[in-house]
Chain A
Amino acid sequence: MNHFPELETTRQDLLTLRAELLRQRSAAPTPGVAHALRLADAYLFMALGCCGHNDTLFPEEGDSPTSETPFPNLC
Protein backbone atom coordinates (compact mmCIF):
# COMPACT_ATOMS: atom_id res chain seq x y z
CA MET A 1 0.00 0.00 0.00
CA ASN A 2 1.35 3.43 -0.88
CA HIS A 3 0.06 6.40 1.08
CA PHE A 4 1.16 8.89 -1.59
CA PRO A 5 -0.95 8.01 -4.68
CA GLU A 6 0.69 10.64 -6.88
CA LEU A 7 3.94 8.68 -6.52
CA GLU A 8 2.55 5.20 -7.08
CA THR A 9 3.24 4.98 -10.83
CA THR A 10 6.81 6.10 -10.29
CA ARG A 11 7.24 3.61 -7.46
CA GLN A 12 6.00 0.73 -9.62
CA ASP A 13 8.29 1.74 -12.49
CA LEU A 14 11.24 1.92 -10.10
CA LEU A 15 10.46 -1.53 -8.74
CA THR A 16 10.48 -2.92 -12.28
CA LEU A 17 13.77 -1.18 -12.90
CA ARG A 18 15.18 -2.55 -9.66
CA ALA A 19 14.22 -6.12 -10.51
CA GLU A 20 16.14 -5.84 -13.76
CA LEU A 21 19.07 -4.16 -12.02
CA LEU A 22 19.26 -6.96 -9.46
CA ARG A 23 19.11 -9.54 -12.24
CA GLN A 24 22.00 -7.85 -14.03
CA ARG A 25 23.91 -7.59 -10.77
CA SER A 26 23.54 -11.26 -9.95
CA ALA A 27 24.95 -12.07 -13.39
CA ALA A 28 27.66 -9.43 -13.31
CA PRO A 29 30.70 -10.56 -15.30
CA THR A 30 33.25 -8.71 -13.17
CA PRO A 31 33.56 -7.26 -9.66
CA GLY A 32 33.69 -3.82 -11.24
CA VAL A 33 30.30 -4.25 -12.88
CA ALA A 34 28.78 -5.83 -9.77
CA HIS A 35 30.04 -3.03 -7.51
CA ALA A 36 28.79 -0.28 -9.80
CA LEU A 37 25.38 -1.94 -9.94
CA ARG A 38 25.34 -2.20 -6.15
CA LEU A 39 25.90 1.55 -5.96
CA ALA A 40 23.20 2.09 -8.57
CA ASP A 41 20.84 0.03 -6.42
CA ALA A 42 21.58 2.21 -3.39
CA TYR A 43 20.69 5.35 -5.34
CA LEU A 44 17.63 3.71 -6.84
CA PHE A 45 16.52 2.74 -3.37
CA MET A 46 16.75 6.35 -2.23
CA ALA A 47 14.30 7.20 -5.02
CA LEU A 48 11.99 4.45 -3.77
CA GLY A 49 12.22 5.95 -0.29
CA CYS A 50 11.07 9.32 -1.65
CA CYS A 51 8.05 7.52 -3.12
CA GLY A 52 6.94 6.26 0.28
CA HIS A 53 8.04 2.69 -0.45
CA ASN A 54 7.59 0.56 2.68
CA ASP A 55 7.76 -3.01 1.38
CA THR A 56 11.52 -3.13 1.85
CA LEU A 57 13.37 -0.73 4.13
CA PHE A 58 16.85 -0.82 2.60
CA PRO A 59 18.63 -2.60 -0.26
CA GLU A 60 20.27 -5.36 1.77
CA GLU A 61 17.13 -6.26 3.73
CA GLY A 62 16.29 -9.29 1.61
CA ASP A 63 19.87 -10.53 1.47
CA SER A 64 20.87 -13.48 3.54
CA PRO A 65 24.59 -13.98 4.12
CA THR A 66 24.69 -17.27 2.24
CA SER A 67 22.10 -16.69 -0.45
CA GLU A 68 24.23 -14.84 -2.93
CA THR A 69 27.30 -15.85 -4.82
CA PRO A 70 28.87 -12.47 -5.56
CA PHE A 71 30.21 -13.16 -9.04
CA PRO A 72 28.67 -16.37 -10.37
CA ASN A 73 30.13 -15.95 -13.80
CA LEU A 74 33.63 -15.96 -12.36
CA CYS A 75 33.16 -19.19 -10.41
Chain B
Amino acid sequence: MARELHRPSSVDRYWNRPTQTAPREVLDRWHLERIQHLIGWAYDNSPLYRRLYDNAGVKPSDIRTWDDFHHRLPFTDKPHFLADQDREPSGFGGLAMAPEQMQMYFHTTGTTGRFLNEGFTQFEMQKSATQYCYSLWDYGIRPGDAMYFCFNFGMWIGLWSIYWGARNLNLRILAGGGASSLERVRHILQHKPELVVGTPTYLLHLVEVARHEGLDLRDAGVRILMGGGEPGLSVPVTRQSLIDGWGATDVLDAYGIGEAMHVAQSCADWGGGVHTIEDVTHSYTADPESGEPMLESGQIGENIVTSYTHFSQPFIKYRTHDLVQRDLHPDHGCGWTWAHLPGVVLGRSDFMVTIRGTNVYPTAVENLIGGVTGLSNHYELHISRPSTFDEMLVKVEASSADTDHDRIAAALDEHFRRSLGVRLGVEVLKPETLPRYELKTKRIFDTRTAVT
Protein backbone atom coordinates (compact mmCIF):
# COMPACT_ATOMS: atom_id res chain seq x y z
CA MET B 1 0.00 0.00 0.00
CA ALA B 2 1.02 3.60 -0.51
CA ARG B 3 2.96 5.28 2.22
CA GLU B 4 1.16 7.96 4.15
CA LEU B 5 0.71 11.04 2.03
CA HIS B 6 1.95 14.35 3.29
CA ARG B 7 -1.27 16.34 3.20
CA PRO B 8 -0.38 20.03 3.24
CA SER B 9 -2.41 22.29 5.44
CA SER B 10 -4.42 25.01 3.78
CA VAL B 11 -1.57 27.41 4.49
CA ASP B 12 1.36 25.52 3.03
CA ARG B 13 -0.36 23.82 0.10
CA TYR B 14 0.41 26.72 -2.23
CA TRP B 15 3.64 27.05 -4.17
CA ASN B 16 3.00 30.81 -4.56
CA ARG B 17 -0.09 31.73 -2.56
CA PRO B 18 -0.40 35.47 -3.36
CA THR B 19 -0.78 34.88 -7.09
CA GLN B 20 -2.40 31.43 -6.86
CA THR B 21 -5.29 32.78 -4.81
CA ALA B 22 -5.53 36.33 -6.19
CA PRO B 23 -8.94 37.63 -7.28
CA ARG B 24 -9.76 37.31 -10.98
CA GLU B 25 -9.73 41.10 -11.50
CA VAL B 26 -6.21 41.35 -10.09
CA LEU B 27 -4.98 38.48 -12.22
CA ASP B 28 -6.52 40.01 -15.33
CA ARG B 29 -4.90 43.41 -14.73
CA TRP B 30 -1.53 41.72 -14.24
CA HIS B 31 -1.98 39.59 -17.38
CA LEU B 32 -2.79 42.59 -19.55
CA GLU B 33 0.27 44.48 -18.37
CA ARG B 34 2.52 41.50 -19.03
CA ILE B 35 1.00 40.80 -22.43
CA GLN B 36 1.50 44.42 -23.49
CA HIS B 37 5.16 44.11 -22.57
CA LEU B 38 5.51 40.80 -24.39
CA ILE B 39 3.87 42.13 -27.57
CA GLY B 40 6.41 44.97 -27.64
CA TRP B 41 9.29 42.51 -27.23
CA ALA B 42 8.03 40.30 -30.03
CA TYR B 43 7.39 43.21 -32.40
CA ASP B 44 10.88 44.62 -31.83
CA ASN B 45 12.77 41.33 -32.06
CA SER B 46 10.87 38.75 -34.10
CA PRO B 47 10.58 39.35 -37.87
CA LEU B 48 7.57 37.03 -37.97
CA TYR B 49 5.65 39.07 -35.41
CA ARG B 50 6.64 42.36 -37.05
CA ARG B 51 5.25 41.09 -40.36
CA LEU B 52 2.06 39.76 -38.78
CA TYR B 53 1.35 42.93 -36.83
CA ASP B 54 2.32 45.27 -39.68
CA ASN B 55 0.07 43.33 -42.04
CA ALA B 56 -2.76 43.71 -39.53
CA GLY B 57 -2.03 47.42 -39.21
CA VAL B 58 -1.45 47.20 -35.48
CA LYS B 59 1.41 48.48 -33.32
CA PRO B 60 2.16 47.32 -29.77
CA SER B 61 1.07 50.69 -28.41
CA ASP B 62 -2.39 50.09 -29.91
CA ILE B 63 -3.05 47.24 -27.47
CA ARG B 64 -4.29 49.09 -24.39
CA THR B 65 -7.33 47.05 -23.34
CA TRP B 66 -8.60 43.48 -23.43
CA ASP B 67 -10.91 44.50 -26.23
CA ASP B 68 -7.83 45.62 -28.23
CA PHE B 69 -6.13 42.31 -27.49
CA HIS B 70 -9.15 40.26 -28.50
CA HIS B 71 -10.16 42.21 -31.58
CA ARG B 72 -7.16 44.11 -32.97
CA LEU B 73 -4.25 41.78 -32.37
CA PRO B 74 -4.08 38.91 -34.90
CA PHE B 75 -3.97 35.28 -33.82
CA THR B 76 -0.87 33.23 -34.39
CA ASP B 77 -1.17 29.66 -35.58
CA LYS B 78 1.09 26.71 -36.27
CA PRO B 79 1.22 27.36 -40.04
CA HIS B 80 2.74 30.81 -39.38
CA PHE B 81 5.62 29.20 -37.54
CA LEU B 82 6.00 26.32 -40.01
CA ALA B 83 6.18 28.72 -42.97
CA ASP B 84 8.73 30.81 -41.12
CA GLN B 85 10.88 27.82 -40.18
CA ASP B 86 10.93 26.81 -43.86
CA ARG B 87 12.12 30.30 -44.72
CA GLU B 88 14.69 30.77 -41.95
CA PRO B 89 18.21 29.29 -42.28
CA SER B 90 18.08 28.44 -38.58
CA GLY B 91 15.12 26.11 -39.19
CA PHE B 92 13.09 27.82 -36.44
CA GLY B 93 10.00 29.93 -36.92
CA GLY B 94 9.25 33.16 -35.10
CA LEU B 95 12.61 33.57 -33.37
CA ALA B 96 13.21 36.72 -31.33
CA MET B 97 16.71 35.69 -30.21
CA ALA B 98 19.65 34.13 -32.01
CA PRO B 99 19.69 30.31 -32.19
CA GLU B 100 23.11 30.29 -30.49
CA GLN B 101 21.39 31.50 -27.33
CA MET B 102 19.31 28.32 -27.13
CA GLN B 103 20.17 25.58 -24.69
CA MET B 104 17.89 22.84 -26.03
CA TYR B 105 16.04 22.08 -29.23
CA PHE B 106 12.78 20.14 -29.44
CA HIS B 107 10.00 19.58 -31.88
CA THR B 108 6.29 18.91 -31.58
CA THR B 109 5.03 15.33 -31.78
CA GLY B 110 3.91 15.83 -35.38
CA THR B 111 0.38 14.58 -34.81
CA THR B 112 -0.93 17.23 -37.22
CA GLY B 113 1.49 16.22 -39.96
CA ARG B 114 4.49 18.55 -39.56
CA PHE B 115 7.10 18.97 -36.84
CA LEU B 116 7.32 22.47 -35.42
CA ASN B 117 10.85 23.14 -34.15
CA GLU B 118 11.16 24.66 -30.70
CA GLY B 119 14.19 26.26 -29.08
CA PHE B 120 14.57 27.14 -25.41
CA THR B 121 17.23 29.17 -23.61
CA GLN B 122 18.60 27.98 -20.31
CA PHE B 123 16.34 30.36 -18.40
CA GLU B 124 13.32 29.28 -20.41
CA MET B 125 13.87 25.61 -19.57
CA GLN B 126 14.08 26.48 -15.90
CA LYS B 127 11.11 28.82 -15.98
CA SER B 128 8.91 26.51 -18.06
CA ALA B 129 9.53 23.70 -15.63
CA THR B 130 8.32 25.70 -12.64
CA GLN B 131 4.80 25.09 -13.94
CA TYR B 132 4.88 21.59 -12.50
CA CYS B 133 5.85 22.75 -9.02
CA TYR B 134 2.45 24.28 -8.22
CA SER B 135 0.65 20.99 -8.59
CA LEU B 136 3.33 18.69 -7.20
CA TRP B 137 3.57 20.87 -4.12
CA ASP B 138 -0.20 20.84 -3.67
CA TYR B 139 -0.22 17.03 -3.85
CA GLY B 140 2.28 16.95 -1.00
CA ILE B 141 5.38 16.11 -3.02
CA ARG B 142 8.41 17.65 -1.32
CA PRO B 143 12.18 17.94 -1.95
CA GLY B 144 13.78 14.56 -1.42
CA ASP B 145 10.83 12.57 -2.76
CA ALA B 146 11.65 10.36 -5.73
CA MET B 147 10.12 10.53 -9.23
CA TYR B 148 10.40 7.62 -11.69
CA PHE B 149 10.11 8.26 -15.45
CA CYS B 150 8.74 5.44 -17.61
CA PHE B 151 10.09 6.93 -20.82
CA ASN B 152 12.97 7.21 -23.21
CA PHE B 153 13.89 10.87 -23.60
CA GLY B 154 13.77 12.26 -27.14
CA MET B 155 12.85 15.40 -29.07
CA TRP B 156 9.42 15.83 -27.45
CA ILE B 157 9.55 18.51 -24.79
CA GLY B 158 6.85 17.08 -22.53
CA LEU B 159 9.09 14.69 -20.66
CA TRP B 160 12.00 17.07 -20.49
CA SER B 161 9.85 19.78 -18.96
CA ILE B 162 8.65 17.39 -16.24
CA TYR B 163 12.26 16.38 -15.67
CA TRP B 164 13.27 20.03 -15.24
CA GLY B 165 10.27 20.51 -12.97
CA ALA B 166 11.53 17.65 -10.81
CA ARG B 167 14.96 19.28 -10.71
CA ASN B 168 13.42 22.60 -9.73
CA LEU B 169 11.67 20.93 -6.83
CA ASN B 170 14.87 19.07 -5.90
CA LEU B 171 13.30 15.64 -6.29
CA ARG B 172 15.35 12.49 -6.65
CA ILE B 173 15.10 11.48 -10.28
CA LEU B 174 14.99 7.86 -11.41
CA ALA B 175 15.15 7.48 -15.20
CA GLY B 176 13.64 4.36 -16.75
CA GLY B 177 14.93 5.12 -20.25
CA GLY B 178 16.15 2.19 -22.31
CA ALA B 179 14.54 -0.36 -19.98
CA SER B 180 11.88 -2.89 -20.88
CA SER B 181 8.48 -2.69 -19.21
CA LEU B 182 9.37 -5.57 -16.90
CA GLU B 183 12.68 -3.92 -15.98
CA ARG B 184 10.75 -0.76 -15.15
CA VAL B 185 8.41 -2.74 -12.90
CA ARG B 186 11.45 -4.16 -11.10
CA HIS B 187 13.06 -0.68 -10.81
CA ILE B 188 9.89 0.70 -9.25
CA LEU B 189 9.56 -2.20 -6.82
CA GLN B 190 13.22 -1.84 -5.84
CA HIS B 191 13.44 1.96 -5.49
CA LYS B 192 9.90 2.62 -4.25
CA PRO B 193 9.51 6.16 -5.63
CA GLU B 194 6.78 8.41 -4.26
CA LEU B 195 5.81 9.44 -7.79
CA VAL B 196 5.69 7.61 -11.15
CA VAL B 197 5.27 9.46 -14.46
CA GLY B 198 3.73 7.85 -17.53
CA THR B 199 0.78 7.97 -19.88
CA PRO B 200 -2.37 6.44 -18.34
CA THR B 201 -2.31 3.63 -20.90
CA TYR B 202 1.27 2.75 -20.13
CA LEU B 203 0.80 2.94 -16.37
CA LEU B 204 -2.07 0.45 -16.67
CA HIS B 205 0.07 -1.70 -18.96
CA LEU B 206 2.75 -1.90 -16.25
CA VAL B 207 0.15 -3.29 -13.87
CA GLU B 208 -0.56 -6.07 -16.41
CA VAL B 209 3.14 -6.74 -16.96
CA ALA B 210 3.70 -7.06 -13.22
CA ARG B 211 0.76 -9.47 -12.81
CA HIS B 212 2.09 -11.68 -15.63
CA GLU B 213 5.29 -12.07 -13.68
CA GLY B 214 3.55 -12.67 -10.36
CA LEU B 215 4.56 -9.22 -9.11
CA ASP B 216 2.33 -6.62 -7.48
CA LEU B 217 3.04 -2.95 -8.05
CA ARG B 218 1.07 -2.12 -4.93
CA ASP B 219 4.12 -3.38 -3.03
CA ALA B 220 6.12 -0.39 -4.30
CA GLY B 221 4.13 2.04 -2.15
CA VAL B 222 3.84 4.64 -4.91
CA ARG B 223 1.77 7.60 -3.68
CA ILE B 224 1.11 9.62 -6.80
CA LEU B 225 0.72 8.69 -10.47
CA MET B 226 1.29 11.55 -12.85
CA GLY B 227 1.08 12.00 -16.58
CA GLY B 228 -0.82 13.29 -19.54
CA GLY B 229 -0.51 13.28 -23.31
CA GLU B 230 -3.80 11.42 -23.75
CA PRO B 231 -7.20 11.32 -22.04
CA GLY B 232 -7.55 9.18 -18.96
CA LEU B 233 -6.12 10.84 -15.90
CA SER B 234 -9.22 13.01 -15.54
CA VAL B 235 -11.64 10.17 -16.38
CA PRO B 236 -13.04 8.76 -13.10
CA VAL B 237 -13.07 5.09 -14.15
CA THR B 238 -9.46 5.24 -15.41
CA ARG B 239 -8.33 7.11 -12.30
CA GLN B 240 -9.87 4.43 -10.12
CA SER B 241 -8.28 1.63 -12.19
CA LEU B 242 -4.88 3.27 -11.73
CA ILE B 243 -5.39 3.78 -8.00
CA ASP B 244 -6.51 0.16 -7.59
CA GLY B 245 -3.75 -1.31 -9.74
CA TRP B 246 -0.95 0.66 -8.12
CA GLY B 247 -2.38 1.04 -4.64
CA ALA B 248 -1.68 4.75 -5.11
CA THR B 249 -3.25 7.56 -3.13
CA ASP B 250 -3.85 10.03 -5.91
CA VAL B 251 -3.56 10.78 -9.63
CA LEU B 252 -2.19 14.03 -11.07
CA ASP B 253 -3.26 15.06 -14.57
CA ALA B 254 -1.33 17.46 -16.81
CA TYR B 255 -2.23 19.07 -20.13
CA GLY B 256 0.46 20.77 -22.16
CA ILE B 257 1.00 22.66 -25.41
CA GLY B 258 4.67 21.95 -26.11
CA GLU B 259 5.50 24.80 -28.45
CA ALA B 260 4.01 27.45 -26.18
CA MET B 261 4.98 25.62 -22.99
CA HIS B 262 1.47 26.07 -21.75
CA VAL B 263 0.81 23.60 -18.98
CA ALA B 264 -2.31 23.08 -16.92
CA GLN B 265 -2.46 20.70 -13.99
CA SER B 266 -4.89 19.23 -11.54
CA CYS B 267 -4.95 20.34 -7.92
CA ALA B 268 -5.04 17.96 -4.98
CA ASP B 269 -8.79 18.52 -4.56
CA TRP B 270 -9.29 17.41 -8.17
CA GLY B 271 -12.27 19.18 -9.66
CA GLY B 272 -12.51 16.90 -12.69
CA GLY B 273 -9.88 18.70 -14.71
CA VAL B 274 -6.85 20.95 -14.58
CA HIS B 275 -5.99 24.52 -13.59
CA THR B 276 -4.07 26.79 -15.96
CA ILE B 277 -0.82 27.91 -14.33
CA GLU B 278 -1.40 31.63 -14.57
CA ASP B 279 1.98 32.70 -13.18
CA VAL B 280 3.51 31.57 -16.47
CA THR B 281 0.77 31.60 -19.05
CA HIS B 282 -2.34 33.43 -20.15
CA SER B 283 -5.21 31.67 -21.89
CA TYR B 284 -8.76 32.40 -22.89
CA THR B 285 -11.50 30.76 -24.92
CA ALA B 286 -12.52 31.81 -28.42
CA ASP B 287 -15.13 30.67 -30.89
CA PRO B 288 -13.15 28.48 -33.31
CA GLU B 289 -15.18 29.72 -36.28
CA SER B 290 -15.45 33.47 -35.68
CA GLY B 291 -12.48 34.00 -33.36
CA GLU B 292 -14.70 36.00 -31.03
CA PRO B 293 -13.76 35.70 -27.33
CA MET B 294 -16.04 33.55 -25.17
CA LEU B 295 -15.54 35.10 -21.77
CA GLU B 296 -18.37 33.54 -19.78
CA SER B 297 -17.56 30.53 -17.63
CA GLY B 298 -18.79 27.22 -18.97
CA GLN B 299 -18.66 27.98 -22.67
CA ILE B 300 -16.83 25.46 -24.85
CA GLY B 301 -14.41 26.90 -27.37
CA GLU B 302 -10.84 26.94 -28.56
CA ASN B 303 -8.01 27.41 -26.07
CA ILE B 304 -5.93 30.46 -27.06
CA VAL B 305 -2.65 30.77 -25.18
CA THR B 306 0.13 33.28 -24.58
CA SER B 307 3.31 32.00 -23.00
CA TYR B 308 5.31 33.88 -20.38
CA THR B 309 8.09 31.31 -20.47
CA HIS B 310 9.05 31.46 -24.12
CA PHE B 311 10.63 34.73 -25.17
CA SER B 312 13.27 33.55 -27.64
CA GLN B 313 10.41 32.17 -29.76
CA PRO B 314 7.29 33.96 -28.52
CA PHE B 315 3.84 32.41 -28.75
CA ILE B 316 1.26 35.17 -28.35
CA LYS B 317 -2.47 34.66 -28.82
CA TYR B 318 -1.65 31.25 -30.23
CA ARG B 319 -4.38 28.97 -31.55
CA THR B 320 -4.10 25.53 -29.98
CA HIS B 321 -7.20 24.11 -31.73
CA ASP B 322 -7.94 22.29 -28.47
CA LEU B 323 -11.54 22.64 -27.34
CA VAL B 324 -11.91 23.38 -23.65
CA GLN B 325 -14.53 24.48 -21.18
CA ARG B 326 -13.18 27.21 -18.91
CA ASP B 327 -14.35 27.92 -15.38
CA LEU B 328 -13.02 31.34 -14.39
CA HIS B 329 -14.25 31.06 -10.80
CA PRO B 330 -13.51 27.47 -9.74
CA ASP B 331 -14.86 26.42 -6.38
CA HIS B 332 -14.04 22.81 -5.61
CA GLY B 333 -12.27 23.41 -2.34
CA CYS B 334 -8.66 24.01 -3.36
CA GLY B 335 -8.63 27.78 -3.07
CA TRP B 336 -6.77 28.20 -6.34
CA THR B 337 -8.33 31.07 -8.26
CA TRP B 338 -6.62 30.14 -11.49
CA ALA B 339 -8.98 29.12 -14.28
CA HIS B 340 -10.07 25.48 -14.31
CA LEU B 341 -10.66 23.32 -17.37
CA PRO B 342 -13.10 20.53 -16.41
CA GLY B 343 -12.63 17.49 -18.63
CA VAL B 344 -9.30 18.96 -19.83
CA VAL B 345 -9.32 18.75 -23.67
CA LEU B 346 -12.83 18.04 -24.94
CA GLY B 347 -11.97 17.81 -28.62
CA ARG B 348 -10.07 19.37 -31.50
CA SER B 349 -11.57 22.21 -33.51
CA ASP B 350 -9.68 20.97 -36.56
CA PHE B 351 -10.59 17.29 -36.24
CA MET B 352 -14.27 16.51 -36.33
CA VAL B 353 -16.26 13.68 -37.84
CA THR B 354 -19.80 14.16 -39.09
CA ILE B 355 -21.86 11.04 -38.51
CA ARG B 356 -25.39 11.07 -39.88
CA GLY B 357 -25.45 14.85 -39.62
CA THR B 358 -24.09 15.01 -36.09
CA ASN B 359 -20.66 16.55 -35.43
CA VAL B 360 -18.59 14.20 -33.27
CA TYR B 361 -15.17 15.05 -31.81
CA PRO B 362 -13.06 11.91 -31.39
CA THR B 363 -11.67 13.24 -28.11
CA ALA B 364 -15.21 13.44 -26.76
CA VAL B 365 -15.66 9.77 -27.65
CA GLU B 366 -12.44 8.92 -25.84
CA ASN B 367 -13.63 10.67 -22.71
CA LEU B 368 -16.96 8.83 -22.80
CA ILE B 369 -15.39 5.37 -22.94
CA GLY B 370 -14.16 5.87 -19.40
CA GLY B 371 -17.73 6.38 -18.24
CA VAL B 372 -18.71 2.71 -18.63
CA THR B 373 -17.56 0.18 -16.06
CA GLY B 374 -16.17 -3.16 -17.25
CA LEU B 375 -14.02 -1.59 -19.96
CA SER B 376 -10.27 -1.03 -19.92
CA ASN B 377 -8.41 2.11 -20.99
CA HIS B 378 -7.22 0.34 -24.15
CA TYR B 379 -9.26 1.30 -27.20
CA GLU B 380 -9.07 2.40 -30.84
CA LEU B 381 -11.32 4.62 -32.93
CA HIS B 382 -11.56 3.63 -36.60
CA ILE B 383 -12.97 6.35 -38.84
CA SER B 384 -13.93 5.47 -42.39
CA ARG B 385 -16.13 6.63 -45.23
CA PRO B 386 -17.40 3.48 -46.88
CA SER B 387 -19.91 5.39 -49.00
CA THR B 388 -21.05 9.00 -48.65
CA PHE B 389 -21.02 9.36 -44.90
CA ASP B 390 -18.41 9.06 -42.18
CA GLU B 391 -18.59 6.13 -39.80
CA MET B 392 -16.78 5.47 -36.54
CA LEU B 393 -16.10 2.05 -35.05
CA VAL B 394 -14.98 1.98 -31.42
CA LYS B 395 -12.89 -1.06 -30.49
CA VAL B 396 -12.32 -1.34 -26.78
CA GLU B 397 -10.92 -4.04 -24.54
CA ALA B 398 -12.92 -5.49 -21.68
CA SER B 399 -11.25 -5.07 -18.30
CA SER B 400 -11.33 -8.80 -17.54
CA ALA B 401 -11.72 -12.07 -19.42
CA ASP B 402 -15.02 -13.00 -17.76
CA THR B 403 -16.80 -9.79 -18.79
CA ASP B 404 -20.11 -10.13 -20.61
CA HIS B 405 -19.11 -8.52 -23.89
CA ASP B 406 -22.62 -8.14 -25.27
CA ARG B 407 -23.90 -6.42 -22.15
CA ILE B 408 -20.94 -4.01 -22.03
CA ALA B 409 -21.22 -3.27 -25.76
CA ALA B 410 -24.91 -2.44 -25.33
CA ALA B 411 -24.14 -0.18 -22.37
CA LEU B 412 -21.42 1.68 -24.29
CA ASP B 413 -23.66 2.01 -27.34
CA GLU B 414 -26.40 3.56 -25.23
CA HIS B 415 -23.88 5.83 -23.45
CA PHE B 416 -22.73 7.18 -26.84
CA ARG B 417 -26.27 7.63 -28.07
CA ARG B 418 -27.35 9.57 -25.00
CA SER B 419 -24.20 11.73 -24.80
CA LEU B 420 -23.51 12.40 -28.47
CA GLY B 421 -26.96 12.03 -29.96
CA VAL B 422 -25.76 9.45 -32.45
CA ARG B 423 -24.93 5.74 -32.51
CA LEU B 424 -21.36 4.61 -33.19
CA GLY B 425 -20.13 1.14 -34.04
CA VAL B 426 -18.97 -0.69 -30.91
CA GLU B 427 -16.80 -3.79 -30.64
CA VAL B 428 -15.71 -5.10 -27.24
CA LEU B 429 -12.49 -7.12 -27.40
CA LYS B 430 -10.81 -9.58 -25.07
CA PRO B 431 -8.22 -8.10 -22.68
CA GLU B 432 -4.72 -7.50 -24.11
CA THR B 433 -5.86 -7.63 -27.72
CA LEU B 434 -4.73 -4.14 -28.76
CA PRO B 435 -1.08 -3.02 -29.02
CA ARG B 436 0.56 -1.11 -26.14
CA TYR B 437 2.61 2.06 -26.61
CA GLU B 438 5.04 3.82 -24.32
CA LEU B 439 4.38 7.37 -25.42
CA LYS B 440 1.27 8.93 -26.93
CA THR B 441 -0.85 5.92 -27.77
CA LYS B 442 -2.03 5.60 -31.39
CA ARG B 443 -5.75 5.34 -30.98
CA ILE B 444 -7.30 7.05 -33.96
CA PHE B 445 -7.15 5.38 -37.35
CA ASP B 446 -8.64 7.62 -40.01
CA THR B 447 -8.78 5.99 -43.44
CA ARG B 448 -11.13 8.54 -45.02
CA THR B 449 -8.45 10.17 -47.19
CA ALA B 450 -7.78 6.80 -48.82
CA VAL B 451 -11.36 6.61 -50.02
CA THR B 452 -12.27 8.44 -53.20
Contact = CB atoms under 8 A, between A and B. Distances in A.
A54 interface: yes
Contacts of A50: 16, 19, 279
9 contacts: A42-B123, A45-B127, A49-B130, A49-B279, A50-B279, A57-B308, A58-B127, A60-B97, A60-B121
Mostly, the B contact residues are helix
Contact of B37 (A3, A4, A42, A54): A54
Interface stretch (B22-30, B243-251, B436-444): B22-30
Nearest to B33: A54
B403 interface: no
A58 B123 contact: yes
Nearest to B25: A3
B34 A57 contact: yes
Contacts of B308: 49, 57
Given A3-B22, A42-B123, A57-B38, 4 more contacts: A3-B26, A7-B18, A42-B122, A57-B41
A46 interface: yes
Given A4-B22, A57-B308, A58-B311, A49 B280 contact: yes
Interface of A: 1, 3-4, 6-7, 39, 42-43, 45-46, 49-50, 52, 54, 57-61, 65
A46 B130 CA distance: 9
B12 to A, nearest CB: 15
Contacts of A39: 122
A1 B279 contact: no
Nearest to A4: B18
A46 B168 CA distance: 11
B302 interface: no
Nearest to A55: B37
A51 B279 CA distance: 9
Contact of A54 (B16, B34, B98, B123): B34
Interface residues of B, number: 27
A42 B164 CA distance: 14
Given A42-B123, A57-B37, A58-B124, A3 B29 contact: yes
Chain A interface main SS type: helix
Contact of B19 (A52, A60, A65): A52
A54 B18 contact: no
B241 interface: no
A60 B123 contact: yes
Interface string B332-349: 000000000000000000
Closest 6 CB pairs of A and B: A3-B30, A42-B123, A4-B18, A50-B16, A58-B311, A54-B34
Interface string B1-36: 000000000000000101100100011011001100
A4 B27 CA distance: 9
B180 interface: no
A57 B18 contact: no
A3 to B, nearest CB: 4
B121 A49 contact: no
Contacts of B97: 60
A12 to B, nearest CB: 15
B101 interface: yes
Nearest to B30: A3
Given A4-B22, A6-B18, A54-B37, A49 B30 contact: no
A34 B27 CA distance: 36
Nearest to B310: A58
Contacts of B101: 60
Interface string B255-292: 00000000000000000000000011000000000000
B126 interface: yes
B306 to A, nearest CB: 12
A55 B38 CA distance: 11
Nearest to A41: B123
Contacts of B280: 49
Interface in B94-148: 97-98, 101, 121-124, 126-127, 130
A52 B127 CA distance: 14
B46 to A, nearest CB: 13
B374 to A, nearest CB: 46
Contacts of B98: 65
B397 to A, nearest CB: 44
